Structure 1
């Protein structure tokens, strides 16, 4: 469990790195969009080869379908509620809507980050080593995510303390989620582990389509598809190594 917590921390600490960059080293919107696109490609690869494929190998198609749809529906419902509270542009460099409450931003950050971290913990179940591609995917996607959102929150007038405190809280939650992802499933039946892997995959896929891809396209335009493919390719090679 401690190993899972450590790797969850490694993936989550990128949120603080990105936040610091967003506050003190503001990059162009186009650059942030391209980095975000690369992270999207890496996460797509991790979802396909480290989560969904392993879930299928463990327990077949039924577990994969149940998990993917369940994760997608849960994320969709949570995201819909957060959007109604003004958190729909929580990752935008342009800032969030005027009616966005602090709690909406906090819950949105948690909703986006926890499935990824839980996936890190689940990758350790069964006595194997941590899914390197999953950790790399979470780390690489977290930097542009928090960089863009932090720049937007500063534009909204949020204090540095608030911004860093928000991402610090998400880092703690991500570390705990990774530990729980392993601890709660260490002796679970294969079908439960498979459904959980696919559940995390479904939540991450829905998050990518709903938040990261639109923001990347808005900031970086047509190059997003190409950079996403590069990220996917590199992560695929990493998962096959």
Structure 2
């Protein structure tokens, strides 16, 4: 159980690294966009091979898988809609947005990270050990989000220590979500595990399409496609050796 908590914290610790980078250096939008594009590719691979495929292997073709996928997508869509209305749109954007709300950005980051973190804990239950491919995917995808959000919040007047404290809180929540993924589903039936994997896949895929992909392309241009494919290939290669 402690293992799940620690892995969740470790995966989310890249948020602190990204925040520290934004405080020390001013990375160009293009660089952050390319990092984000790589993270998109890694997460697509994780969704395909660590979530959707594993859900199918766990319970086979079933209505639960379809409902889980649709439920995850709908849940993220609704949550993201209300957060965007409160000023959390473009929370991954370098330089932020002058109309962005700090609280909405925090809530949006938590919304983005909870499905990932739950899957980390669930992977320990399902496979007996942490999924390295999923761990890498979460760690990398957090970097551009923290860099982009932090630079915008600093520009809007946030001080460094409150900003770091905020990210520490998000890291803690991510660790607890990973712990929940382990504790809640430790004794769950294969059908429940498969539903949860499919639910997380739907939520993550919707998050990628709604937030990360548009920003990655806007910030890095057509090269985003090549880097996304590279990220996918690296993550796929890692998953083959687990």
The residue number in structure 2 matching 1:134 is 134
| Equivalent-residue separation in structure 1 for 2:133 and 2:101 (angstroms) | 34
Answer whether contact 1:56 1:63 (CA < 8 A) is retained: no
User: TM-score with structure 1 length normalisation?
Assistant: 0.96
The residue number in structure 2 matching 1:53 is 53
Residue 201 of structure 2 corresponds to residue 207 of structure 1:
no
Answer whether contact 1:41 1:230 (CA < 8 A) is retained: yes
The residue number in structure 2 matching 1:11 is 11
1:88-99 superposed matches below 5 A: 88-98=89-99
1:18-29 superposed matches below 5 A: 18-29=18-29
Secondary structure at 1:26's aligned position in 2?
coil
Answer whether contact 2:105 2:149 (CA < 8 A) is retained: no
Answer whether contact 2:117 2:178 (CA < 8 A) is retained: yes
The residue number in structure 1 matching 2:32 is 32
- Displacement after TM superposition at 1:153 (Å): 1.4
Residue 54 of structure 2 corresponds to residue 83 of structure 1:
no
Residue 236 of structure 2 corresponds to residue 236 of structure 1:
yes
Which segment is superposed worse, 147-156 or 38-47? 147-156
| Equivalent-residue separation in structure 2 for 1:126 and 1:115 (angstroms) | 16
Q: Which runs of 5+ in 2 are unaligned?
A: none
The residue number in structure 1 matching 2:72 is 71
Answer whether contact 1:87 1:96 (CA < 8 A) is retained: no
User: TM-score with structure 2 length normalisation?
Assistant: 0.96
Q: Which runs of 5+ in 1 are unaligned?
A: none
Secondary structure at 1:89's aligned position in 2?
coil
Which segment is superposed worse, 88-97 or 63-72? 88-97
| Equivalent-residue separation in structure 2 for 1:19 and 1:56 (angstroms) | 37
Which segment is superposed worse, 68-77 or 163-172? 163-172
- Count of equivalent residues: 240
1:46-98 per-residue CA deviation (whole Å, 9 max, x = no partner) reads 11101110001011232321111111100000000001111112111132242
Answer whether contact 1:120 1:178 (CA < 8 A) is retained: yes
| Equivalent-residue separation in structure 2 for 1:163 and 1:40 (angstroms) | 25
Answer whether contact 1:56 1:194 (CA < 8 A) is retained: yes
| Equivalent-residue separation in structure 2 for 1:60 and 1:96 (angstroms) | 44
The residue number in structure 1 matching 2:112 is 112
Answer whether contact 2:12 2:142 (CA < 8 A) is retained: yes
